[in-house]
Chains A and B, each alone.
Chain A
Amino acid sequence: MSSQTQTLFEKVWNRHVVVPESNDTPATLYIDLHLIHEVSSPQAFSLLREKNLPVRRPEKTLATLDHSTPTDPEPAARTIPIVTADVARQIQALQDNCAKFGIQLYDLDSDHRGIVHIIGPEQGLTRPGMTIVCGDSHTSTHGAFGALAFGIGTTEVAHVLATQCLLQNKPASMAINITGSLTDGVSAKDLILAIIGKIGVRGGLGHVIEYRGETIDSLSMEQRMTVCNMSIEAGARAGMIAPDQVTFDYLEGREKMPTGARWSELLKSWQDLSSDKNAAFDRQVDIDAGGMRPMITFGTNPGMVMSINDCIPEKGTDESLDKALAYMGLKHGQTLLGQKIDIVFIGSCTNARISDLREAASLLRNRKIAKGLRMLVVPGSQAIKKQAESEGLAQIFIDAGAEWRESGCSMCIAMNGDTVPRGQYVLSTSNRNFEGRQGSGARSILASPLTAAATAINGKISDPVELM
């Protein structure tokens, strides 16, 4: 076994096999970290209750409130108003379940609360070589640390709670090799949008992607998270990046990260977490990031994407494009530069980290957003909120005319009161431009925080490079 070359994914997979795959049964895979939130967990706890089962390792599960939790600015009493009675029940259910089963919850008033994929890395809970799952498809975010992290359904959430394991068939592997440096104004978000544009929304089906090459090496941890986050938008099971000094520097000293001898031990155990030199991938794709421009979506899935200065494809045989453009109120052959926008949303597990806010603020400093435009800036966690306030970023957003909110998923999923009205255009830093994702009839255009800021200033889609 050890004489064979292995990919990063195979190394992490093999270390977690409790019972190997056979002809008739999937492998039993051990899960190191399980994250839960209010939306995909209540029915999992119901399953445990129906079967009278305890949680096997409660200390390996962590709960937060993010999806249906409102982000209205915090009232004095620190009780955020809940949008509907259903949501109140859902939040109550998570509180009750965590109390009953002994699971730590970052409750509404916790300084640690935030979007589930933001808080894990932030606190040093997400670590190289781990297996991490959550009832949420963007669990792929944690792969930026060299963890094998993927989204699961609610029944599987119950499996992990009860056994700390999952039954899994081994996915195939794909290497995406990226060369060239990102030019000014082009961010990790543009890179991943371009990758999805190239391989398509089904390109990664059944695969774990490893992003590699000089471009990836040069990215910060926050940028790497943005890339891995949207692996699911390419259909992939997970996205991974081999840990390196950038990873270790990011993790050292984080709140939940051990120090001293234990830290040195961990560091040592992460050293061989990269694909062996001649490791075989089932598929390889090469990408040149050198000439890349800011990217923007024009349709109703993230694969319908182009450079900001390009034109929407001409009419062809693709009926789904025709349908998407009809929904979006856009035309074949048109450019999006200058397209009027009603709402700009900076937030989500893709782009609501401190570096995203810094980038957006760098353009908004001493500027105002366009008249009549609504802009929401929603930090990914309470910790990021606090940091942005202490760095003066929050004030820049407020002075520019934007709304500065409590942390949460907000307008990314529009089930918490933050909704785009029917027919309106939203320029969003989130990850899904599906029909109705940001509100019934909402028209979503995905882009980077820089493009979002430039667009907010001009009230129409703008190339951030021109404001830099």
Chain B
Amino acid sequence: MTSLPIELRQVEKHFGATRALAGIDLHVKPGEVFGMIGPNGSGKTTTIRVLLGLHRPEAGSVSVFGSDPWSEFSHIGPRLGVMLDDPGLHGALTATEHLEFFGGLLGLSRRGARRRARELLVAVGLTGRERSRLKTYSKGMQQRVALARCLLGEPQLLVLDEPFDGVDAETRRVIQRLLPGLATERGVATLVTSHNHHEIERMCDRIAIIHQGRIVACGETAVLLRSNSGRDVLVIELSERVPSTEASNVFPGCLYDEAKGVLRMDLQACGMTREQVLKKILDRRLSFNRIEEERQSLEDVYFSVTERDRTSC
């Protein structure tokens, strides 16, 4: 086993007859923001709980910084920042007291924990509310406290389970601002799960799609979006307007916006390759401003991949 922040090999976990994880292979490198998406019950949270040593897998190997989280978590814990789907706060305490308590668990001195708590509450935008009890906080504010808590010990690996769940735009921005900075400046690795595909697409260097306990697609965000969309769509912006009849004669099956002079071609639907399209453009001496492949959203890729997996099963 190497000392990668996260390395899972063929991990399996059952709950009775239910197979929660069916051979998960996954690794996260230092400084990488790794996203994991999948439908409810697909195994995202179970994967996280396995990583935190809260579930023992029946098969496969799990390594966090080269140690087994089930048996050696005391070595791993101080290097980790964890934000679970439930913020898990002590409602009777104030934000500062809660962070001081966790600072104590991490072995920080009382003064050190207090100073760090103050810094982090400023960083997550909770200045002025630090003396209010946590039970009076909104869901978004509680998520911010949980985020501050997971940054308390200056972690080398962040594990965030649904951090965007029920948060407002401001909290989302706080998360978006903090995480990439930690990855690039301090080499913090991040594993984040979410149903918010847009945020995952924006933040993550690599993404895995998990379905029925298996990773059905995984790769760098741009590559994943290109290779798993299930469709190749070319968008051509012509510099000279052509009548729509001519456009449909040359490129049967394409969508043409005559007013803008934009052709949109689904290559599979049109039964053409990229080369054939380019050849036709050159043969017809059509001048154009741009030709580009239409980028599919993560949402499209997600549906395409999970649907494919469902059909193959």
Do A and B come from the same complex?
no
Instruction: Show the binding face of A for B, using Cβ within 8 Å.
Output: none
